[in-house]
Structure 1
Amino acid sequence: MRAVARWTVAKIGGAVLVVWIVATLVFFALRLSGDPLEAILGGPGSQAGEDTVRAAIEKYALDEPLAWQYLLQLRDIATLQLGDSFARRQPVADLLAAQLPATLLLAALALALAWAIAVAGSIIQAVSRGRTGIVVGAVMRGLEIVASVTPQFWLGAVLIMLFASGLGWLPATSAGSSPAALVMPVVTLAIPIAGFLSQVSRDALDEADAAPFATTSRSRGAGEMRVLLRHTLRHASLPAVALSGWAFGNLLSGAVVVEVLFARPGLGRLLQEAALSRDVPVVIGAVVVIALMYIVVVILTDAIELLVDPRLRARAASRRAPEIAVGS
C-alpha cells in the first residue's frame, strides 16, 4: 500500500508540476507577444469607447501588476475557472468540450494505425529468412527511416494532391462526418509515428529472437511463427509500449498541423486560431487540457507496461519485500 501511495503521490505531483510549467510558459509568451486588451476589444482598429475599455481592464485585472495577473491566472486554472474567450465571447470550457472529441478520435485512430503498421513490419521481417530476409530487412529499415523523418505537413500536402486533387478518391477537407474524410488526416499523423515504433520494435525483436527463451522454445519443436506470436513479439512490443505515451503526445501536437491542413475541427485548430488572435484564456485552457491528456496517457502506459512485463512486477515485489520485513 505504501508503494502504491508513493506512486500515486509522485504521479499527481508530476502532473501538477507539468501543468504549472506549461501554464507559466504560455501566459508569459502570450503577454510578450502583445497587449491582451487589443484582443479583448476585437483586434487592431477597434473603435471601443472609453467605458468599454475601462470595463475590460477592470474585468481582466489588466491594471494590476503582471505578477498579480499571473497569480490570478493560476488560481483560475486550479479552480477550473477558465473564463470566457476574448474573441468568441463563449466559455472556454464549452469551446474545449466541443472540440476535444474530434482531436481524441483523430489521435486514437492514428496511434492504432501506427501500431498496426509497426507490428506488421516486425512480423514481415521476422518471417523472412536467408537472402530474402536480408533484402526485406534492408528495404524495411529504409522505409522506417524515411517514414520517421517525413514532415507531417509535407505528407499531408502530398496525399491531398494525389488522392483528392489527382485521383478524386478522398475529400480534400475533413470538416464532414464521413469516415472517408478521416483517412488522409489519420494516415498523415500515423506514418511518422509508425516509422519510429517500427525501428524500436525491430531492434527489440532481434534481441528477443536471440534470447535463451526463444532458443529453448525452438529446441522443443516450436516453429518460427509460434515462437514469434507466443514469445518474441510480446517481448519486442515492450519498448514500443513504453513509448506510446510519448507517441500520443506527439500525435496531439501534430493534430495542430493536420487539423489546419485538412480544415478539420478539433482542439489543435482551435488552439492555432486562438494563438493567432492572442486569445489568452482559450490558449491556456487548450494547452492545459492537452498537457493533462498527455499525463493521463503516460500513466495508463506505465500501468499497461507493468501488466505486460513480468520483470517489472518482480522488481516492484522485490522493492516491497524489504518494507514488509522492516514493518514486521
Structure 2
Amino acid sequence: MTGPAVEPAPQAASALRAARLRAVALTIGRKVVAAVVVLWGAATVAFFAQLALPGDRATVILNIRAGQAQQRTAAELAPINAEYGLQHPVIQQYWDYLRGLVLGDFGTSYQQFRPVTAIIGEQLGATVTLSVTAILFAWVLMVAWVTLTAGRGPRLGALGSLVDVVAAGLPAYWLGIILLLVFALGLRWFPVIGGTGVNGLILPALTLAIPLAGFMSQSTRAEFERALEAPFVISARMRGMSDWGVRLRHVLRHASIPAVTLSGWALGATLSGAVIVESIFSRPGIGSVLVAAVNSQDLPVVVGIVTLVAVFYVVANLLVDVAYTLIDPRLGAS
C-alpha cells in the first residue's frame, strides 16, 4: 500500500508564488478602484459646488467678461449658454464634465478665454518644484533632528518631542511671514519677492518643510527609539560600529517607514499649501493662479486646480500603497 503522492518541491514553490502574485494583484486592484472612487467623488463635489453658488452661471460669465455686474436679458445669455452647454439638463452637463476630465479637458477660462489646462500647465512646473523641494527639506530636517535627539536620554528626548509638536502646529501663513521678515527684510539673505531661481525657492520651501518635518518626526521618533533596542543594534555595537554609524546605517532605515508613508500625503499637502506660500512670497505657480481665479469667480480654473490637486494627492498615496504591497504583501492584506 503506497502513501499519498507528495507534490514535487519546485511545483509547490511555483504554486505558492502564483498564489502570492494573485493576492498582490488583488490588493493592488482594490487600491486602484478605491483611488478612482475618491477621484470621482472629488470631481463630483467640485461640479455640484458650482451649481450651489448663488446666481445664474451664464449671467456670472457674461458679467466677468464685461467687467461689470448687471441683469442680462435672455438674448444676451443665449450665446453663453450655447458656448458652455448650460442650456442642457444638469445630468448631461455632469456627464460632459466627467468626460472632459477623463480626456484632460478642464474647460475654458471665463476671464482669459483660454483652455484651463494651458493656464495650469504654464504654472504647474513652479509649484511642483516648490513641493518636491519642500519634501526634500523636510526629510533632511527630520533625519537630522530625530537622529540627534532620539534615544539620548529623557531630557533631550522630551525636548525633541516638544519641538516636533510645535513645528507640526506652525501655520504656514505665520511661518512664511516670520521667515520673510527675518531672512529677507532683516538679514537680506534672500529676495523679498520670490522668483524661479534658487534663492527665491529656499524660504517658500522651508515654510512648507518645517511643519511637514514636525509631522514626520513625530511618526518616526517612536520607531527610531524602538529600533535602538533591537538585537541587530546590539550586534552592530559589539562589532565596534560608532553610535552615529548605528543610527544612520541601521536604525534610520528601519524607522523611516512611517515617514515614507507620509511622503505620499505630503505631496498633496504641499501642493495645496502652495496656495498660501506662493501668495506670501509672490511666487509664480498654481497657488497664485487659484487665488486670482477665486477673486474673479473664474470657476473652470478653480475647479481645474482643485481637481488636479486631488489627482496628485490620490496618485501619490496610491503609488506608496502599491510600493508597500510589492515590498511586503502582508501590509496590503486585509
TM bin, normalised by shorter chain, reads 0.7 to 0.9
Matched residue SS, 2:104: coil
Check 1:88–1:49 CA distance in 2 against 1; reply closer, same or farther (3 A cut).
Answer: farther
Matched residue count? 309
Residue 88 of structure 2 corresponds to which residue in structure 1?
Answer: 64
Is contact 2:228-2:251 (8 Å) kept?
yes
Deviation at 1:304, TM superposition (A): 4.8
Structure 2 residue corresponding to 1:170, chosen from 160, 178, 190: 190
Task: With the length of structure 1 as denominator, give the TM-score of the two structures.
Answer: 0.85
Of 73, 84, 94, which aligns to 2:108? 84
1:230, distance to aligned residue in structure 2 (A): 2.6
> Which shifted more, 181-190 or 226-235?
226-235
Specify the alignment match of 1:40 in structure 2. Answer: 61
Q: CA deviation at 1:101?
A: 0.7
In the alignment, what sits opposite 1:324?
none
Any unmatched runs of 5+ in structure 1?
A: 320-328
Equivalent in the alignment of 1:125: 149
Superposed displacement of residue 135, structure 1: 3.5
Q: CA offsets, 1:164-204, max 9 Å, x none?
A: 23333222221x33211112111111110011111111111
Structure 1 pair 198/316, CA: closer, same or farther in 2 (3 Å)?
closer
**TM-score, normalised on structure 2?**
0.83
The 2-side partners of 1:29 and 1:36 are apart by 12
Identity of aligned residues (%): 40
Q: Distance in 1 between matches of 2:23 and 2:286?
A: 36
With over 3 angstroms needed to count, the CA separation of the structure-2 counterparts of 1:178 and 1:90, relative to structure 1, is: same
**Is the counterpart of residue 284 in structure 1 residue 303 in structure 2?**
yes
Alignment pair present for 1:19 and 2:44: no
2:324–2:331 contact (8 Å) kept in structure 1: no
1:103 aligns with 2:122: no
**Structure 1 residue 136, shift from structure 2 partner:** 2.8
1:75: how far off? Answer: 2.1
Q: CA offsets, 1:231-281, max 9 Å, x none?
A: 211111111111111122211111111111212111122223223333222
What is the deviation of 1:120? 0.2
In terms of Rg, which structure is larger? 2
Comparing 224-233 and 248-257, the one that deviates more: 224-233
Match of 2:3 in 1: none
CA deviations on 1:117-153 (whole Å, 9 max, x unpaired) are 0000121124x74xxx443323222221111000000
Match for residue 152 of structure 1 among 147, 172, 194: 172
Q: State the AA in 2 paired with 1:167.
A: L
Q: Does structure 2 conserve the Cα–Cα contact (< 8 Å) formed by 1:15 and 1:292?
A: no
* Structure 1 residues 38-57: Cα deviation after superposition (integer angstroms, max 9, x where no partner): 44214342697765421001
Amino acid of the structure 2 residue aligned with 1:57? N
